[in-house]
Chain A
Amino acid sequence: EVELVESGGGLVQPGGSLRLSCAASGFAFSKNWMTWVRQAPGKGLEWVASIKEDGSEKLHVDSVKDRFTISRDNAKNSLYLQMNSLRGEDTAVYYCVKSQYRACDYWGQGTLVTVSS
């Protein structure tokens, strides 16, 4: 059974940093693109970043470029999102997502990031 468990969310001040982690199990992690999707309170879904199976290609939405970095450790079956220079508009639930056929076929339960002073 595929399982994606996010951690690392919490309350952080504007300008601060957080590192989100996602522990994956139940599938061949190293053979799948992985993605972060976020959802601000009461809002729709927003793609944040994706990373290729071997980490050689990384894509980020413009609004987080130069602030967020997606990475992975295939030996640990783990996905990460390093978030720096956080802003109020980054407040959201962040979902770890497994990708196949360029669709998001499995989603974690999400971790809430709140950026506020």
Chain B
Amino acid sequence: DIVMTQSPLSLPVTPGEPASISCRSSQSLLHSNGYTYLSWYLQKPGQSPQLLIYLSSNRASGVPDRFSGSGSGTDFTLKVSRVEAEDVGVYYCMQALQSPITFGPGTKVDIK
């Protein structure tokens, strides 16, 4: 199974400041078709998760452009250029290169 790790696991943020979360996979997520099957999700308190980024760096529909995804192979990063109060919650990365699909443990983001 592909193991996903995230750091940090807890991230206090200041509104208006940037924030960054790292995600690493135990093996490369690059498929032979050229796609990298890494996605990012935010689960706001009391809500279902929502997709932020797919295929490593593509913003999902309706996601503000302050969110960006980057990385390749086994190392990936989610960046928020200027954190807003509504961005608090738990962020997860997920790999779908192979079954079983696996999620990272989550990074809890809250306001300082």
Contact = CB atoms under 8 A, between A and B. Distances in A.
B48 A46 contact: no
Given A59-B99, A103-B39, A108 B92 contact: no
Contacts of A107: 48-50
A44 B51 contact: no
Given A44-B92, A45-B92, A103 B51 contact: yes
B39 A104 contact: yes
Contacts of B22: none
Size class of the B contact interface (CB-based, 8 Å): 20 to 34
Contacts, number: 64
The winner among B60, B92, B106 for most chain A CB atoms within 10 A is B60
Contacts of B101: 35, 47, 50
A44 B90 CA distance: 9
A101 B92 CA distance: 17
Given A62-B100, A104-B41, A104-B49, 17 more contacts: A37-B49, A44-B92, A44-B103, A44-B104, A45-B92, A45-B94, A45-B103, A45-B106, A46-B103, A95-B48, A95-B49, A100-B54, A101-B55, A102-B54, A102-B97, A103-B96, A107-B49
Interface of B: 35, 37, 39, 41, 43, 48-51, 54-55, 58, 60, 90, 92, 94, 96-97, 99-106
